[in-house]
Each structure stands twice: as structure tokens, then as C-alpha cells.
């Protein structure tokens, strides 16, 4: 059994070690060589696509990076899976697009707006996910088959 002074020393030593590990991991994760955000590839087209994504409430049905609604497919790597031309065609379709009994609103986007949303989805797909995409992609592919 520890005496009071030994318990205090154990607690303070553990706190200091944990704090130093936390500071070290923070410095490591903030290093420019560890940047995974893909922020250097943000351009006006990507910003416009993000704005369209938000104003059309796409996240109400779709998810990106695991965030959003679960009614419609995950779109983090949709350009990789389906290709930009197909996504653009769906966004410009005059009729609601509805595979598997679910229907997506017919947005009838202009060419520029559809290209901006595709650019945004391409940018999202370029984010380094630390291998998470290897887990999500097979599930998304399997789900899209059904």
C-alpha cells in the first residue's frame, strides 16, 4: 500500500508523463509534413460547390466523411466510385433520380453549378483518410449493388 506522499508522487509523475505525451503528439500532428487536409487544392470552384452543397441541404440525405443523413449513399469517394460525368448527369437530370426505390430531388443544375459540386466532391475524395476509405469503400460498393 502506498503512503500519502508516495501516492501524491505517483499521481504527479503520471500527470506529468501524460501531459508530456499529449504535448508531443500535438506538436507531431501540427507538423506541416503531417497535414492531411488537402487544403492547398481548394479553389473558387470547390468553394462554390461547398456553397451549393450547403444551400441544397445535400447533407440532409447524404453523408460526407461520416457526417450527415443516412438516407442516401455516402459521397466521400463517390467520384472515385462512379466518376464525375455520372454525378454531373444526375445533378443535371430533369427527372428525380431514384435507384433502389429512393428518389433524389431533380435539381436540374446548370453546367457550371454541377461542375462546381463535382469539383467539391473531387476535393473531398482527395483528403487522406488514414485508410478509412479502405473500410468504407467496400461497404459502399456492396450497398450500391443492392
Residues 6+ apart with CB under 8 A from 118: 49, 79, 84, 87, 88, 91
Per-domain boundaries in the chain? 1-34, 37-145
3-state SS, residue 63: strand
CATH of 37-145, one of 3.30.870.10, 1.10.760.10, 3.40.50.300, 3.40.50.410: 1.10.760.10
Strand partners, 68: 63
Is 80 exceeded by the pLDDT of residue 140?
A: no
| Cα 114 to Cα 77: distance, rounded to the nearest angstrom | 17
Is 80 exceeded by the pLDDT of residue 35?
A: no
Model confidence pLDDT, tens digit, residues 54-99: 999 999 999 998 888 888 888 988 999 899 999 999 999 988 888 7
Model confidence pLDDT, tens digit, residues 106-120: 999 999 999 999 999
Amino acid at each position: 500500500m502506498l503512503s500519502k506522499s508516495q501516492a501524491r508522487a505517483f499521481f504527479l509523475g503520471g500527470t506529468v508523463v501524460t501531459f508530456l505525451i499529449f504535448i508531443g503528439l500535438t506538436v507531431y500532428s501540427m507538423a506541416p509534413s503531417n497535414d492531411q487536409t488537402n487544403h492547398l487544392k481548394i479553389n473558387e470552384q470547390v468553394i462554390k460547390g461547398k456553397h451549393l452543397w450547403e444551400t441544397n441541404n445535400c447533407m440532409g440525405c447524404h453523408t460526407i466523411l461520416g457526417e450527415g443523413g443516412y438516407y442516401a449513399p455516402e459521397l466521400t469517394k463517390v467520384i472515385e466510385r462512379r466518376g464525375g460525368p455520372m454525378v454531373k448527369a444526375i445533378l443535371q437530370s430533369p427527372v428525380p433520380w431514384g435507384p433502389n426505390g429512393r428518389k433524389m430531388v431533380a435539381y436540374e443544375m446548370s453546367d457550371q453549378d454541377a461542375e462546381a459540386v463535382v469539383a467539391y466532391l473531387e476535393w473531398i475524395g482527395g483528403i487522406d483518410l488514414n485508410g478509412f476509405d479502405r473500410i468504407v469503400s467496400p461497404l459502399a460498393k456492396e450497398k450500391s449493388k443492392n
